[in-house]
Amino acid sequence: MSTDPGAHGQAWQRRRLSSRTLIWDIYLTLANKVAAPLRSGHIVPAGAVAHAADGRWTGFQPPRPGDSRSACPALNAMANHGILPRDGKNIPFPSIISKVHQTYNFSETFVYFTSNYVAHLLGRSYARDTFDLADISLHNGIEHDGSLTRLDVALAPDQGVPYPPFIRELLASATGQDPTTGEAILTPTDLGRVTARRRVQARAANPQYSLANIHAKFSASNSTSLLRIFGGKVKDLEVMLLEERIPDGFESSTKAKHGLTMFSFQSTVKAIDSAIDEDAAAREMEMEMRKGEKME
Ligand code: HEM
C-alpha cells in the first residue's frame, strides 16, 4: 500500500467516485423501469445541436488536416457534425455529458464515468482541465489492440483514422435481420465471432500485441454500443464507422428515458464476451487459408 498521502487521497477519491456513480447508475436503471419509454421520433431532444426536426443530422464536415480525432468513431462523428468542437481540441471533460446523452441516449452516468476515467488516465483535473480527442487514444488506457475499426497502434500510430477493410469485414459478418425492415443487423454472436478473428489476426500481425482483461472488457463494452445504440443496423453502421458521420434518421435504439445505463448494458457485454472464442476463430482462419492455398 502506498505511503504517499497524495496517492492515497487520489485512490480514495477514485473509489468514492465509483461507488457514487454506481449508485446513481442503479437509480437511473430503476427510474427507467418506471418511466414511459421515449417515443420514436422524440429520442433526440428538440433543439439538439446538428439535429433537424425532420431527423436529418446536419453540418457534417470531414476532419481537416490538423484536427484532432480519436479511436472512438462516435466521438469523432460528433466533432464532424460540430456537436463537439470541429477541431476536436480543448474540450472540457464535463461538457460532453449532456452532448453524448442527447446524441446517442447513453446515460449521463456512463458518460460521466468514462470521461472521469479518461481524466484520471491522463492525470488531469476533470473539473478544470480539457482534452483533445487524440488524447483519449492513449494506448492501453481505453484504447487497446485488436479493435474492430482500427489497425493496432503499433501498425497505425494515428488512431484517429478508421481502417475500412476491418469495418467491411465486421459489417459483412452480420447474420441477423431486422424483423420490421428485413435489413441486415449484427447480433452478439456475430460480434463475438468477428472480435475473435480480429484478435487472432492482430496477434499474428503485431509483434507488440497485448490485451489485458480490462481491455477485453472495454472491447466488449464498445461493441455493445453497436447493438444497443445503433441497433446493429448495418446500413447505419456503414455510414457511422466508415465516414464517421451520423446517418440521417438515426436515433438511438435505446428508448429508455434516462438512456442506456452501465448496469443495463452488462447483459449485452456478457453475451458478446461469451461468444468470443479465439481457438475456434484460429481453426476457422487456418482452414480458410488452406482452402485458399489449394485454389491457387
Ligand atoms: C463517453 C465518452 C467516450 C470515450 C472516452 C470513448 C473512448 C473510446 C476509445 C478510447 C475507443 C478505442 C477503443 C479501441 O481501441 O478499440 C473507443 C472505441 C469505440 N467507441 Fe467510444 N468512447 C466514448 C463514447 C462512446 C459512445 C457514446 C459510443 C457509442 C454511441 C462509443 C462507441 C465506440 C465504438 C463503437 C468504438 C469502436 C470499437 C472498435 O474499434 O473495436 N463510444 N471509444
pLDDT of residue 167: 98
Segment 219-248 mean pLDDT: 98
Q: Answer yes or no: is pLDDT of 135 > 70.
A: yes
How does pLDDT run across 153-209, given as a tens digit for each residue? 999 999 999 999 999 999 999 999 999 999 999 999 999 999 999 999 999 999 999
Segment 13-22 mean pLDDT: 69
And the C-alpha cell for 21?
456513480
Which atom of ligand 1 is closest in space to residue 137's alpha carbon?
A: 10
Question: Ligand 1 pocket: which of 44, 57, 72 to mutate (most atoms <8 Å of CB)?
Answer: 72
How does pLDDT run across 100-129, given as a tens digit for each residue? 999 999 999 999 999 999 999 999 999 999
How does pLDDT run across 250-274, given as a tens digit for each residue? 999 999 999 999 999 999 999 999 9
CB of 148 within 6 A of ligand 1: the answer is: yes
Query: pLDDT band at 294, cuts 50/70/90?
Result: confident
Q: How far does residue 286's CA lie from ligand 1's centre (Å)?
A: 30
Domain 61-295: what homologous superfamily? Chloroperoxidase-like (1.10.489.10)
pLDDT of residue 138: 98
Query: pLDDT band at 18, cuts 50/70/90?
Result: confident
pLDDT of residue 296: 73
- Between 240 and 10, the higher pLDDT residue: 240
Q: Answer yes or no: is pLDDT of 137 > 50.
A: yes
Q: How far does residue 40's CA lie from ligand 1's centre (Å)?
A: 25
- Between 294 and 21, the higher pLDDT residue: 21
Segment 50-70 mean pLDDT: 98
Q: Answer yes or no: is pLDDT of 12 > 50.
A: no
Find out whether 271 and 264 touch, Cβ atoms under 8 Å. Answer: no
SS (H, E, C) the chain: CCCCHHHHHHHHHHHHHHHHHHHHHHHHHHHHHHCCCCCCCCCCCCCCCCECCCCCECCCCCCCCCCCCCCCHHHHHHHHCCCCCCCCCCEEHHHHHHHHHHHHCECHHHHHHHHHHHHHHHCCCCCCCEECHHHHHCECCCECCCCCCCCCCCCCCCCCCCCHHHHHHHHHCCCEECCCCCCEECCHHHHHHHHHHHHHHHHHHCCCCCCCHHHHHHHHHHHHHHHHCCCCEHHHHHHHHHHCCCCCCCCCCCCCCCCECHHHHHHHHHHHHHCCCHHHHHHHHHHHHHHHHHHC
